[in-house]
């Protein structure tokens, strides 16, 4: 049977719901998202319920995660960025678990849908804009002028900076989506080869799928990390407005 490697990304409604013309049906992606939310919540609540001085296994895992996210925020935004800890920790854990759960055969990779990553990116970028204008007022438009720009270069620099600002949410969304989709397409193609190759040669692509799966676990972590770091950087840019140059060495 011929099957497209993009077949696993198709979504079919499980429970069709329509609300005032809006299609809010429940499909596999929605189910997996609920599972991810439940998993993250259960992990954190169970890990946090013991609160022993000498942490158990679960508690040290949670402490490691929290400390890791705290490190990212302190590195990119400084002490003031800790206000955003709940948002950034939620984003990181949600994306990480979505990426990881997608690697379980038969499951679904929610982050391989560009609408999901686009919503994350829009929320993050929208927040950075709103925060920038609230904190700095009209001076926030100065983000379009890099420090040390001579006046005669302004007509060139402002459009360039404007474009690179507007490209931020797009590259944020596309990066996560493309990485997850590409990885799963490769896995799908290799599995297809393994099946159509039969026993004689099929073991070779099958061995590659095992290696790729290991690589995909790494990518799941790296992409969640990159998304989180860039979120911090964008929020930090709006927070400090050129102030980050001091410790950028």
Partner 1 sequence: MGTELLAALIVGGGLGWAVDTYLLGSTPWGLVFGLVFGAVAGVRSAYRAAQRWQDSSGNSRR
∠ CA 86-89-92, nearest 5°, is: 145
Binding string, residues 81-120; x marks residues near partner 1 by CB under 8 A:
----------------------------------------
Number of shown-chain residues binding partner 1 (CB under 8 A):
20
The residue assigned the tokens 């490769």 is: 186
Contact between 160 and partner 1 by CB under 8 A: the answer reads yes
Contact between 154 and partner 1 by CB under 8 A: the answer reads no
Strand segments (E) across the chain? 13-15, 18-19, 22-23, 26-27
Q: Which of 67, 164, 195, 210 binds partner 1 (CB under 8 A)?
A: 164
Are 235 and 77 in contact, with CB atoms under 8 Å apart? Answer: yes
Q: How many residues appear in the chain?
A: 249
Rounded to an integer, what distance in angstroms lies between the CA atom of residue 87 and that of residue 72?
13
Q: Which of 12, 51, 52, 249 binds partner 1 (CB under 8 A)?
A: 249
Rounded to an integer, what distance in angstroms lies between the CA atom of residue 98 and that of residue 110?
6
Q: Residue 52 or residue 247: which is nearer to partner 1 going by CB?
A: 247
Nearest to 93 by CA among 221, 183, 218, 216: 221
The nearest distance, CB 165 to partner 1, in angstroms, is 9
Q: Which of 26, 74, 115, 170 binds partner 1 (CB under 8 A)?
A: 170
Where along the sequence are the contacts to partner 1 (CB under 8 A)? 75-76, 159-161, 163-164, 166-168, 170-171, 174-175, 178, 222, 229, 233, 248-249
């Amino acid at each position: 049977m011929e099957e497209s490697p993009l077949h696993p990304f198709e979504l079919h409604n499980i429970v069709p719901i329509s609300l005032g013309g809006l299609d809010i049906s429940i499909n596999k992606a929605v189910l997996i998202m609920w599972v991810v939310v439940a998993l993250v919540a259960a992990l954190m609540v169970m890990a946090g319920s013991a609160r022993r001085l000498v942490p158990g296994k679960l508690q040290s895992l949670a402490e490691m995660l929290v400390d890791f996210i705290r490190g990212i925020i302190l590195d990119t935004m400084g002490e003031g960025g800790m206000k955003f800890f709940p948002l950034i920790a939620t984003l990181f854990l949600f994306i990480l678990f979505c990426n990881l759960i997608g690697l379980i055969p038969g499951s679904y990779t929610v982050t391989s849908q560009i609408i999901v990553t686009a919503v994350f990116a829009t929320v993050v970028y929208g927040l950075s804009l709103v925060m920038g204008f609230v904190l700095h007022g009209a001076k926030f438009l100065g983000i379009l002028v890099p420090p040390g720009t001579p006046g005669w270069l302004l007509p060139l620099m402002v459009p360039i900076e404007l474009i690179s600002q507007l490209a931020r949410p797009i590259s944020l969304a596309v990066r996560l989506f493309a990485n997850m989709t590409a990885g799963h397409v490769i896995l799908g193609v290799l599995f297809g080869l393994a099946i159509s190759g039969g026993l004689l040669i099929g073991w070779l692509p099958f061995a590659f799928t095992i290696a790729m799966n290991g690589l995909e676990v790494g990518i799941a972590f790296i992409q969640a990390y990159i998304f989180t770091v860039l979120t911090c950087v964008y929020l930090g840019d709006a927070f400090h407005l050129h102030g980050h140059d001091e410790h950028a060495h």
